[in-house]
Amino acid sequence: MLVFMTGGTGFVGKNLTRVLTEKGHEVTILTRPGEGRPPLPAGARYLEGDPTRPGPWQERAASHETFINLAGASIFSRWTERRKRDLLESRILTTRNLVEAIRGRRKGIAHLLSTSAVGYYGFHDEGDLYEGNGPGGDFLARLAVDWEAEADRAREAGVRVAICRFGIVLGKGGGALEPLERLFRLYAGSPVGSGRQWFSWIHEGDLARIFLYLMERTDLDGPFNCTAPGPVRNAEFTRTLADALRVRAFLPAVPGFLMRLVLGEFGGVILKGQKVLPGRLLKEGFHFRFPDLPSALEDLL
């Protein structure tokens, strides 16, 4: 299949591109002009262009069949008003321009697999969250709602749209695990806040397999929670990571007020969470290779 991908130079995109090309798909990665692009596997190529602006890239995109939308500025930073605008625009404008490109197609059926996040549901101390649950009202939830709405507009042009609500992606060479591993190896791992907040995660290999699955299952559309069936609380995550690294997590919990002081509003995201379950994928019979945290960490570390 001819796949067009935004955000393909990032942590998730690099692994996904490798998996897709190994399966024989051809991948075009839209990337903003700049230095230091990762080398590509055979079957993948770069197309230069800024997804937040309309441009000649849209016509090139139109010749593809499957569109994977991953682009977005990183949320892992202190959120100033300017940063919040970047977080929004890098997702909303990218998705809007990509949908415009897809709508410009002259023939054939198109599929859009677009990213969202479990932040959609807002923060919940307790209770299982499935695709049918409604959105939260905080900044990340509103961002996810608007992001999904832009992707859904492609339906008007007869495009199949699947929305992938990612949990925290655990993988090699990037994402949340790398800095945590460094910290824990320095014997500085500890729970955060109460330690009771839920942490919904997914192994990068399972996430890539979900994309392959959704590409093949053309009868499926709408939102999919892309999380492992075994979410954990923050304290359990800390213990399991320390065990996997064979170090001791002995420092006292990082107090919540300190997280807020250092990280501002983003600190609140680490102190709160949500227990999200992959209800639709399990119902459809998708097989998770890494359903629980110990098996995922053993594979990755």
Ligand X SMILES: NC(=O)c1ccc[n+]([C@@H]2O[C@H](COP(=O)([O-])OP(=O)(O)OC[C@H]3O[C@@H](n4cnc5c(N)ncnc54)[C@H](OP(=O)(O)O)[C@@H]3O)[C@@H](O)[C@H]2O)c1
Q: Which is nearer to ligand X, 48 or 187 (CB)?
A: 48
Q: Which is nearer to ligand X, 174 or 264 (CB)?
A: 174
Q: Which stretch binds ligand X (CB under 6 A): 72-80, 133-141, 210-218, 262-270?
A: 72-80
User: Residues 73-112 vs ligand X: string with x where CB under 6 A?
Assistant: xxx----------x---x---x------------------
Q: Which is nearer to ligand X, 130 or 187 (CB)?
A: 130
For position 32 contacting ligand X by CB under 6 A, the verdict is yes
Q: Which is nearer to ligand X, 50 or 284 (CB)?
A: 50
- Member of 115, 200, 225, 234 binding ligand X (CB under 6 A): 115
For position 71 contacting ligand X by CB under 6 A, the verdict is yes
For position 72 contacting ligand X by CB under 6 A, the verdict is yes
For position 145 contacting ligand X by CB under 6 A, the verdict is no
Q: Which stretch binds ligand X (CB under 6 A): 11-19, 242-250, 256-264, 277-285?
A: 11-19
Considering only residues 116-135, where is the footprint of ligand X by CB under 6 A? 117
| Residues recorded for the chain | 301
- The one-letter code for the residue type at 199 is F
Distance CA 26, CA 215 (A): 13
Q: Which long-range contacts (CB under 8 A, 24 or more apart) does 37-46 make?
A: 37/9, 38/9, 38/14, 41/17, 44/8, 44/17, 44/20
- Member of 145, 176, 253, 301 binding ligand X (CB under 6 A): 176
For position 175 contacting ligand X by CB under 6 A, the verdict is yes
Q: Rg for the chain (alpha carbons), in Å?
A: 19
Q: Which is nearer to ligand X, 4 or 246 (CB)?
A: 4
Q: Edge-to-edge strands of the sheet including 160-166?
A: 44-48, 26-31, 2-6, 66-69, 111-117, 160-166, 222-226
Size of interface with ligand X, in residues (CB under 6 A):
26
User: Residues 177-216 vs ligand X: string with x where CB under 6 A?
Assistant: ----------------------------------------
- Member of 5, 7, 143, 266 binding ligand X (CB under 6 A): 7
Task: Write out the E strands in 88-242.
Answer: 111-117, 128-129, 160-166, 168-170, 198-199, 201-203, 222-226, 232-233
For position 12 contacting ligand X by CB under 6 A, the verdict is yes
Residues of the chain by 3-state class (helix, strand, coil), percent to 5: 40, 20, 40
For position 279 contacting ligand X by CB under 6 A, the verdict is no
What letter would DSSP give residue 120?
G
Distance CA 135, CA 94 (A): 22
Q: Which is nearer to ligand X, 12 or 163 (CB)?
A: 12
For position 169 contacting ligand X by CB under 6 A, the verdict is yes
Distance CA 216, CA 161 (A): 13
Distance CA 166, CA 231 (A): 13
| Contact between residue 74 and residue 100 where contact means Cβ atoms under 8 Å apart | no
**Distance in Å, CB of 29 to ligand X, minimum:** 7
Distance CA 210, CA 240 (A): 25
| Contact between residue 104 and residue 58 where contact means Cβ atoms under 8 Å apart | yes
Q: Which residues of the chain form contacts with ligand X (CB under 6 A)? A: 7, 9-13, 31-32, 51-52, 70-75, 86, 90, 94, 115, 117, 166, 168-169, 175-176
